[in-house]
Structure 1
Amino acid sequence: MTTSTTYHPMAAKEVTRFILDQKPLFILDVRNEGDYNDWRIEGETIESINVPYFELLEGVDAVMDRIPAEGKVLVVCAKEGSSIFVAEQLAETGRSDIFYLEGGMKAWSEYLEPVKVGDLRDGGELYQFVRIGKGCLSYMVVSGGEAAVVDALRMTDVYEQFVAEKGVQLKHTIDTHLHADHISGGRSLAEKTGATYWLPPKDAEEVQFAYEPLQDGNEITVGGTRIVIQALYSPGHTIGSTSFIVDDRYLLSGDILFVESIGRPDLAGLAEDWVGDLRDTLYSRYRELSEELIVLPAHFGKMTELGEGGKVSARLGDLYKHNPGLNMQDEAEFRRAVTENLPPQPNAYQEIRHTNMGKITPTAEEQREMEIGPNRCAIHDK
């Protein structure tokens, strides 16, 4: 009798559906222990174990009793090759439900899931692009044959394909601030499409390229139906951080306010200088806004922040009740929370900042390496 050696690739898009649809999936992660502990695929119905690849070179017998007897098993590594080797060995035991992550954790880091946030007045639509493997969130406003993207990621082909499918023209790309945890796609997307690229000037003193300065009170109109994106200066994460109120209903908060935490002020080395700005934005400027606004942040830190369909959002009034970062009435306590005992800074964050300034031009592969790992823009991220 011959033994089956059937195993299959599973794309990041398919893994995302397991998480969002809350279907069980068992993961055997064969990266080294440090990489696994730092960053791995997680979800309410995801179970995973870590057995480094080098421990499986002589066979998988030692790990078989740790793998469920039934159900899909996904083998994960950094780039793909090691997981294929291990998946083949598992399949040789007679299992027909063995998969490997196509493209490895690099592909997982780059996948974007488009989620519709809602309809806007007069026929427009708002979409959130969830970078589920890294916790980044970007947005697209579509209205009257035009579109604007906020906090675009470097995977610009996703946005180009989306506007093509919608049959609209991209008119604006906007960054809420100079990012430090991921490489912005805003400028390159604007160059490809002829759109206008907007950036807060207080974050742009060292940039090496032309941009449209984003000022407090700017109104960027998208489409003939006048879905107005109103800029709101909100410093603290960076000195130029700018939020947006879209359609008088949604607050795009950038990296200032998240669903379960608040932004950190230290990624440019100026935490002591910016902590006062951060508190003023969160405890004064945002307090003046309607509590009915739906907050749409630029990041999430935990899978528990994913709501229906994968959407990350919360009512502003509810955040003032439940978000710990908005409930430190003692200013000294707040200062300590956002300047001391912070999580590690993002991988290669200085190089990422310099890339976003146009000072360096890394290759595509170098950019992937720079972004590997979780986002760490919030003070409570693990």
Structure 2
Amino acid sequence: MGARTLQAMTAKEVTQMLLNNEELFILDVRNTDDFDNWKIEGGKIEVVNVPYFDLLDGVDPALDKIPDGKKILVVCAKEGSSKFVGEQIVEAGRNNVYYLEGGMKSWSEYLEPIKVGDLKDGGELYQFVRIGKGCLSYMVISGGEAATVDTLRMTNVFEQFAKDKGAVIKHTIDTHLHADHISGGKLLADKTNAKYWLPPKDATEVVFEYTPLEDDNAITVGNTQIKIQPIYSPGHTIGSTSLIVDDQYLLSGDILFVQSIGRPDLAGKAEDWVGDLRTSLYKTYKSLSEDLIVLPAHFGQHTELGEDGKVAARLGDLYASNPGLNIESEEVFRSAVTDNLPPHPNSYQEIRQTNMGRVKPTEEEQREMEMGPNRCAIHDK
């Protein structure tokens, strides 16, 4: 028999169940609009939505939807409503009932570090998967030094990880000015006395100091000369810059994803930037080695999660399988990109202003700004 008391389940535990393909039944009690916009999904997770206000007089409307023999996780925005509903489900005689600790806010902020691989002359590369929002960050570690790429707002995670690995953070790098999440790159650089790099064409309105991320600036991490070579690749933004790490890995920012390509419109420049996007994908990237492993800054679908949750693909394989890389006509490409734009990310204008340093929202305001899925990709319909 399973436990007959309501238990907490952390975002980390949910992530492990998802990645391990373990069965989990989720009862999401948020309102329908919030549920339809963004939910926990993937692996062998089954999820249904019964709004909290439909359960105020009792949980009978939910009980007939809950299968026997599975772990039951009740989810809401912050955890309070899920506790209330979960306790009633336990009282109704169900076993193995949990609530999501911290609610969807904790799901949005959890980062899962995954080792990508070893570097040629020593050192390691790690990917940090923000499972609930589809954001991906990176850390290069070599010779007791570390560089982070597309650092997220939860800077303490990167600080602690580097400390555990015996490394000092020397560089933080943003491949572009982000619009769907708040960057932690500048904050982490200030906290660790590191150098903060940003493409200068994306930095015309920033109000803080930065080091220009440009093609002729190779960034060296550690004593083993693990070089990060910037490659200018505009299209998602005018300054978008990719990174080649150790001649093995292509950190593509938001230009190229595993199953899709980046959108060019988050600064209101879709018609202007779609040509740059095509040039970056069809010429700049095409000139690179097909054996480079592409590591994007986002994933849009849980089907992009590979072994152990890692999001990665060989560049040559993407030219064979990614729909966005297989549109021969420039006119058709332009139409495909500009006519199929998804909804804008939540609060994207405010997020851009925050990443420029022009506004300084509180921590709670930052959480609210980031709630919901990322929408940086144009997915094949």
Which bin holds the TM-score, normalised by the shorter protein?
Answer: over 0.9
- Residues 232-270 of structure 1: CA deviation (Å, up to 9, x unaligned): 000000000000000000000000000000000000000
1:224 aligned to 2:223?
Answer: yes
* 2:281 corresponds to: 282
- Contact preservation (8 Å) 1:264, 1:338: yes
| Structure 1 residue 123, shift from structure 2 partner | 1.4
Runs of 4+ in 1 over 2 A off after TM superposition: none
Q: State the secondary structure of the residue aligned to 1:379.
A: strand
- Residues 75-132 of structure 1: CA deviation (Å, up to 9, x unaligned): 0000110000000000111223000000000000000000000000121100000000
* 1:124 corresponds to: 123
* 2:366 corresponds to: 367
2:216 & 2:339 partners in 1: Cα distance? 33
2:109 & 2:29 partners in 1: Cα distance? 20
1:114 & 1:326 partners in 2: Cα distance? 29
What residue identity is the alignment partner of 1:206? E
* 2:190 corresponds to: 191
* 1:64 corresponds to: 63
1:35 & 1:106 partners in 2: Cα distance? 13
Aligned pairs for 1:1-382 (under 5 A) are 6-380=5-379
RMSD between aligned residues: 1.0
- Contact preservation (8 Å) 2:256, 2:262: yes
| Structure 1 residue 5, shift from structure 2 partner | 5.9
1:331 & 1:44 partners in 2: Cα distance? 37
Aligned length: 379
- Residues 305-336 of structure 1: CA deviation (Å, up to 9, x unaligned): 00011000000000000000000111111101
TM-score (norm 2): 0.98
- Contact preservation (8 Å) 1:151, 1:175: yes
What residue identity is the alignment partner of 2:237? T
| Structure 1 residue 338, shift from structure 2 partner | 1.2
| Structure 1 residue 381, shift from structure 2 partner | 7.8
2:362 & 2:169 partners in 1: Cα distance? 25
- Contact preservation (8 Å) 2:235, 2:264: yes
- Identity over the aligned pairs, expressed in percent? 72
What residue identity is the alignment partner of 2:374? N
2:188 & 2:20 partners in 1: Cα distance? 31
**What are the ranges of 5 or more consecutive residues in structure 2 without an aligned counterpart?**
none
1:205 & 1:349 partners in 2: Cα distance? 18
- Contact preservation (8 Å) 1:252, 1:297: yes
What residue identity is the alignment partner of 2:92? T
